[in-house]
Structure 1
Amino acid sequence: MNIVSTAQKKTLHSILASKLNKLTIPVSSTSSAEDFDFAEVFGPPTSSPHAAVSTSPSSSSSLFLGDPQIIYNRSHSFIGPSPRYTVSNSLPLKTFNQEIDSESSDEDGNENRRINADKETEKDEDGGAVCKIGPGDFEILRVIGKGAFGKVFQVKKKDTDGISGIGGGSGDGIFAMKVMKKHTIIKNNHVDYMKAERDILTKVVHPFIVQLRYSFQTKSKLYLILDFINGGHLFFHLYRQGIFSEDQARVYTAEIVSAVSHLHKSGIVHRDLKPENILMDADGHVMLTDFGLAKEIDESSRSNSMCGTTEYMAPEILLSKGHNKEADWWSVGILLYEMLTGQPPFTHANRKKLQEKIINEKVKLPPRLSSEAHSLLKGLLQKEPSRRLGSGPSGSDEIKRHKWFRPINWKKLETRELQTKFKPDVSGEDCTANFDKCWTAMPPDDSPAPTPTAGEHFQGYTYVAPNPWLSSK
């Protein structure tokens, strides 16, 4: 054992102190610390007419040749109030802690090497084990997304036990696997949201909502296995085309209205409707996904959580007045406006200024749009929720009966009989050409994560869909 004298310790301490005194913290060049830089996702800033805001380019980002010029800076989804945020009448400049799934490691090493040991068996009501599936039953093919709680992978079901068809899915066993780290969820007090997402997905069956096939957990992570929708995000196609025609936007909006109406009738509010949370299948139909902020709310109740993505958040959420299903119809109005014009009606690089615009400014409607489109947008974008289209006693039927939707046969639409004018270029079940290269070029690693030391937060998480309902062709 080496013995260090007191004099040597003092010398070492003085050297360390002198080095620490020389450390400096670089000043950020960004003008708005509360915004989230998407430059590494969508490439460096351009002079695109559709760019809502501007920011400094990221040195690590690169713009792929031939890619469309698109919005490269946009708010992330966020949840609140957090322990560090007190709801008040004032608009917060900095509101929530955003943690984007950090790549942490633990003593056990690579997650894929220990997934079989981590596979947990839960008990059903009779006390029997119900978990027969885990991460080891899926081969990771590539990354197709990343968000506040984890990554989304394209995976293939291994036919190791002769049950590859359980829960439905595509004929080739191709799925989307959403992976969320427990320690991140617990640290941010989002356990209830993750439980709610799983519970809601097990209850919802609709032709324009992505279907959950399995859910399970390991000691360190939660897994959701959903149908893989290979046409990519509506966000991707919208900013590739720039804008949609009214005829094209009408079908997408009608399908979104149908899906949201089904959620509301089931007592569910989505609360994060935006193009990034809407997928497109190979036939050109839209599919609503990502229920991480969804909540079951009684018709007569109100939620006071500050949640959503700022550009799409209803005024009553920003004002902490309490919200219900009417907030979703505001977001549908924002979506329609963006599809028809190329960007949301309210944009600003500073979140506080953006919130103030949403609360106070009138929506400017482009004169080139039809009078029917103007009427629908005015109805959906009423700042007072009780006056908003869809808030009345007949609910979504108010919207479906609107004159802009006259060309829509709702019965044919909901049986997927209406033909879409645009179909994504898809080469096969596992095609990812319509997903952003910033994701698909990532190493397809289910990275390790520390195991939470807290008690059991996710008992009963395991699920296997009883019957295939929406099989991919």
Structure 2
Amino acid sequence: MMTSSSTHKKTLHSILATKLNNLTIPTTTSSSSPDHDEFDFNDVFGPTSSTNPNPNSSIFLGDPQIIHNRSHSFIGPSPRYTLSKSLPFSHDFDAESSGEEENEVEKVENVQVGKAGMGYRIGPGDFEIMRVIGKGSFGKVFQVRRRDRSVVNGDGGDGVIGDGIYAMKVMRKDTIIKNNHVDYMKAERDILTKVVHPFVVQLRYSFQTKTKLYLILDFINGGHLFFHLYRQGIFSEDQARVYTAEIVSAVSHLHQRGIVHRDLKPENILMDADGHVMLTDFGLAKEIDESSRSNSLCGTTEYMAPEILLAKGHNKNADWWSVGILLYEMLTGKPPYTHSNRKKLQEKIINEKVKLLPRLSGEAHSLLKGLLQKDPSLRLGSGPRGGDEIKSHKWFKTINWKKLESRELQPKFKPDISGEDCTENFDKCWTAMPLDDSPAPTPTGGEHFHGYTYVAPNPWLSSPE
């Protein structure tokens, strides 16, 4: 016969077992560390880099965390960099006002959608969060669905703006201000409003609340080039040729608009359902005119041009170096310069001659040598013809550039996609994360982000004439 003591002990064991079964482990190690709660495209394939967040301090303190033998994007000191005050954006499609956002207590700087001041205001409540597709130092990137909304057309009639799948990049204002990255975040939004190209991800909306900035971009469901490259190991020259040509086309367009990307790498290149590549993440991009140079130390070390590392000042030629590194990695499976210690990696990039594999064609060798010239004035693409000099290289002789830029050249490889909202080509370490857009403190100095709102000029946003 069981005693009351043993019965009590059994009951306690049962309760303990139930609690252990329901035990959950938090996804972050410290709830007091706001920098790791939210997200930026730069670190989609790994945890936030351990680089010092202060841009005025040394960036080579210890070894970085390496994911797949590469470091993360970062911004270093710039002698010319100063934190700007409020500089309103000017764009034909800006429309500022404030109103109550559906799901948050704070007010949102909304975007007016519609013609002649008629329509409705858009904000975070217009988007249903579906999955996390990335996480970084400033916040998160979510796959979201645009909710159906009834609107008033320009002619006074009623209509509906339908739903759609997008990527929503959410950035914390307090982290941006703390790290002196206000100018970079403003530049990203401003540049994206000016770029329309078949191989560049399109910005559809931007808006803000008191604590966060939001960018709504096209969701590209094929995943990152990084994902496919490390799944396949290497690309054939024919496969890499189409990708490189599309990247060259996109970068040439940016340069014609006076924009330098400065963070070209496979993690920042997406692949759409048809197998075309799409350039994304303009967080380090900058507008630089032909006669100017930037002295910022920024980018991802494996892809940084020697002139950036030497602080000699850089311009658009630095992007062509990165394209060369990209091509090398596509053809060989890894960048030409790698090291687990960032300072030693820097020294290799500056001093070592690139080693070309004999199995590559002579035309590929010639292109890589041209793009990976350490002297930027001798680099392919540095001349007055710019990107056209690269397009006319013999490695691209089979490319019809007119057809390519009309998206008529079909890549042989297409990602395996089950539908418009498919995320199978994104790393499961992100897509399995909880769907929470966590709260953030209201920062001081919120005036830095005045004028952030934007609506892309889409035909379906206005009624027919």
Give the shorter-chain TM-score range: 0.7 to 0.9
**Please, which of 133, 140, 144 is the counterpart of residue 129 of structure 2?**
140
- Structure 2 distance, partners of 1:129, 1:360, is 61
- What residue is the counterpart of 1:19 in the other structure? none
- State the one-letter code of the partner of 2:68: Y
- State the one-letter code of the partner of 2:230: Y
- What residue is the counterpart of 2:337 in the other structure? 346
The TM-score, its normalising length taken from structure 2, stands at 0.76
The TM-score, its normalising length taken from structure 1, stands at 0.75
Matched, 1:157 2:157: no
- Structure 1 distance, partners of 2:459, 2:379, is 37
- Structure 1 distance, partners of 2:285, 2:119, is 26
- RMSD over equivalenced CA pairs, Å: 3.0
- What residue is the counterpart of 2:168 in the other structure? 177
Q: Tell me, what secondary structure is at the counterpart of 1:154?
A: strand
- Give unpaired runs (5+ residues) of structure 2: 1-42, 49-62, 82-100, 154-160, 461-465
Change (3 A) 1:78 1:129: farther
- Give unpaired runs (5+ residues) of structure 1: 1-35, 42-55, 59-69, 86-111, 165-169
Show structure 1 runs of 4+ deviating over 6 A.
36-41, 128-131
- Structure 2 distance, partners of 1:233, 1:163, is 38
Change (3 A) 1:252 1:171: farther
- Structure 2 distance, partners of 1:232, 1:387, is 35
- Structure 1 distance, partners of 2:289, 2:445, is 31
**Please, which of 314, 318, 321 is the counterpart of residue 330 of structure 1?**
321
1:118, distance to aligned residue in structure 2 (A): 2.3
1:121, distance to aligned residue in structure 2 (A): 4.5
- What residue is the counterpart of 1:246 in the other structure? 237
- What residue is the counterpart of 2:355 in the other structure? 364
5 Å matches for 1:76-87? 76-81=72-77
1:425-451 superposed Cα distances (whole Å, 9 cap, x missing partner)? 001000000000011011111111000
5 Å matches for 1:103-122? 114-115=103-104, 117-121=106-110
- What residue is the counterpart of 1:382 in the other structure? 373
1:105-144 superposed Cα distances (whole Å, 9 cap, x missing partner)? xxxxxxx9852642125899xxx89981110110000000
Q: Tell me, what secondary structure is at the counterpart of 1:214?
A: strand
Q: Is the 8 A contact 1:297 1:324 kept in 2?
A: yes
1:291, distance to aligned residue in structure 2 (A): 0.2
- What residue is the counterpart of 2:194 in the other structure? 203
Change (3 A) 1:329 1:272: same
- What residue is the counterpart of 1:63 in the other structure? none
1:365-407 superposed Cα distances (whole Å, 9 cap, x missing partner)? 0000000000000000000000000000111111000000001
- State the one-letter code of the partner of 1:261: S
1:74, distance to aligned residue in structure 2 (A): 2.1
- State the one-letter code of the partner of 1:153: F
1:202-257 superposed Cα distances (whole Å, 9 cap, x missing partner)? 00000000000000000000000000000000000000000000000000000000
- Structure 2 distance, partners of 1:333, 1:149, is 29
Number of residues of Structure 1 aligned to a counterpart in Structure 2: 377
1:76, distance to aligned residue in structure 2 (A): 1.0
Q: Is the 8 A contact 1:273 1:332 kept in 2?
A: yes
1:166-225 superposed Cα distances (whole Å, 9 cap, x missing partner)? xxxx97510000000000000001101100000000000000000000000000000000
Change (3 A) 1:209 1:337: same
1:290-316 superposed Cα distances (whole Å, 9 cap, x missing partner)? 000000001110000000000000000
**Please, which of 312, 318, 324 is the counterpart of residue 309 of structure 2?**
318
- Structure 2 distance, partners of 1:149, 1:385, is 32
**Please, which of 263, 269, 283 is the counterpart of residue 274 of structure 2?**
283
Q: Is the 8 A contact 1:131 1:216 kept in 2?
A: no
- What residue is the counterpart of 1:223 in the other structure? 214
Q: Tell me, what secondary structure is at the counterpart of 1:456?
A: helix
